[in-house]
Amino acid sequence: MTQFPPYVGLGGRAWFYGYRSFCGLVLLFLMAPILVIVPLAFNSQPYFTYPIPGFSLRWFEAIWQDTIWLQAIRNSIVVAVASTVISTSLGTLAAIGLMRKDLPGKGLITAVLVSPMIVPIIITAVGSYFFYSNLGIANSLTAIILSHAALGTPFVVITVTATMVGFDHSLTRAARNLGASPLYAFRTVTIPLVWPGILSGALFAFATSFDEVVTVLFLGGVEQRTVPRQMWSGVREQLSPTILAVATVLIVISVAMLLTLEFLRRRNARMRGLAD
């Protein structure tokens, strides 16, 4: 029971409980469609109804016994890891370049770099399809990796740029004055201080690639099925509780990534000396 100060009247108490109740309803509205599928993934029967007659792990076991799902998981991991490496490398270098005060056209360059976040994904997918078709690499993992790298790079640019706002550039200048090469100063001074932002951007890029389906529908063939595409195909062709089991695993992975991002945010705040 909340203890209110003596000066809080009936209206103040009503506002206190009403505000929190409204926030709870909003949270329930946002989370209910996601959480409602978790119990169904443990249903012992192939039904999508409540109440659940019994609990079982059979649908999770079915994932590892299905060669199509295993191929989709393997493709998703390969695409997500490769595209994350590319987008993290390019995004970090771009963010460092954008921090230069004498860079001409900084606003225009920034707008171009973050444009994949603004442009509708269907337009990006269509453009990627025609572009990579002319290069002869459509219907391949290479095209999907490059397309996802373009989608993930803006997240890296934004997070690394935000991290470097409070970066003390006198540290790198001191390293250079002591004889360090630009690459050595970057590796031993800049990277250790901005790695929380780099890792945060990498996690966003990984999540963007891992659950992206539109460009995969355009650029991927039968052999390039990823987990989201297989879920999409399963919903349309053969609805199975295995899809709910995969969705539950993805929810667990997403929660783990959110906790990691929160840890990195707090660590970055402590490094800047900000109150948390």
91, 93, 96, 97: CA torsion to nearest 10: -110
Average pLDDT of adjacent 10-residue blocks, the chain of 276 residues = 76 88 93 85 81 84 87 92 94 87 84 88 90 87 92 91 80 85 85 84 90 88 84 81 88 87 76 57
* C-alpha–C-alpha distance, residues 220 and 209, integer Å: 14
What is the pLDDT at residue 147?
93
Q: Are 210 and 168 in contact (CB under 8 A)?
A: no
What is the pLDDT at residue 272?
62
* C-alpha–C-alpha distance, residues 182 and 204, integer Å: 28
Contacts of 181 (CB under 8 A, 6+ apart): none
Nearest 5°: CA angle at 128, between 140 and 74?
35
In 3D space, the residue among 234, 206, 254, 203 whose CA is nearest the CA of residue 82 turns out to be 206
Q: Are 159 and 200 in contact (CB under 8 A)?
A: yes
Backbone φ and ψ of 167, nearest 5°: -75, 135
What is the pLDDT at residue 156?
92
What is the pLDDT at residue 25?
95
Cα separations in angstroms, 148 against 24, 198, 215, 230 = 35, 17, 8, 17
Q: Could you give the 3-state DSSP secondary structure of residue 119?
A: coil
- Scored b (16 or more CB within 10 A) or e, 8-42 reads eeeeeeeeeeeeeeeeeeeeeeeeeeeeebeebbb
Q: How many Cα atoms occupy the beta-carbon half-sphere of 70 within 13 Å? A: 6
What is the pLDDT at residue 80?
93
Q: Are 164 and 213 in contact (CB under 8 A)?
A: no
In this structure, is the dihedral angle defined by the CA atoms of residues 52, 53, 56 and 60, taken in order, positive or negative?
Answer: negative
* C-alpha–C-alpha distance, residues 215 and 122, integer Å: 8
